[in-house]
Amino acid sequence: MAQKAQKTQATRNSATLNRTHLISLGVYLSFLLIRTIFFSRRLLPFALLNLPALAIEFWFERIGRPVYTETANGKELQKAGEALDAKGLTEWMWDVVYWSWGNTVLAALLGNWAWWLYAVVPLYSAWLAFSTYSGVRSGFSGMSAGAGGEGSGGAAAQSKRQAKLEKKGGQRMQYR
């Protein structure tokens, strides 16, 4: 079984990419069909707001599609492609694709105002950045209090173990 892991990766990537393309085609065609037959929906927000999802989908196609070469023995796997279920940036890019599909379906069913749901992503990102910045800033301010002992209200902070030992009357620490 030569290259079993790569063959498994190639099979998984092909299935994921094919499923992704079919879902995209279904979502976009249903939006256009509903727009044409039943309601009047604007095409400019549809085109602009689905552009990132389409770009990500084509990027996944480029990096994730396995490459085979023809040999005398048949097809041979040359490159399995990158893992499309990786953590980090790839995971975030899948979230963008899913969010775009969801908003497109909601816009098709509920109306043009549903395009405003895209504003949730930047607002959430801004809130996350602010809360991270606040946490880091408060963490740095706590570091300066421990260095000189000035920021803790006069007495040095005790660990739980030290407090229990002093409460039992065991080892006592002298603070200067």
Task: Assess whether pLDDT exceeds 60 at residue 145.
Answer: no
CB 69 within 8 A of CB 76: yes
Domain ranges of the chain: 4-124
CB under 8 Å to 17, separation ≥6 — which residues? 60, 61, 64, 65, 84
pTM, rounded to two decimals? 0.67
Q: Per-residue pLDDT tens for 72-126?
A: 888 888 888 888 988 988 998 999 999 999 999 999 988 888 888 888 878 888 8
Residue 153 per-residue DSSP state: S
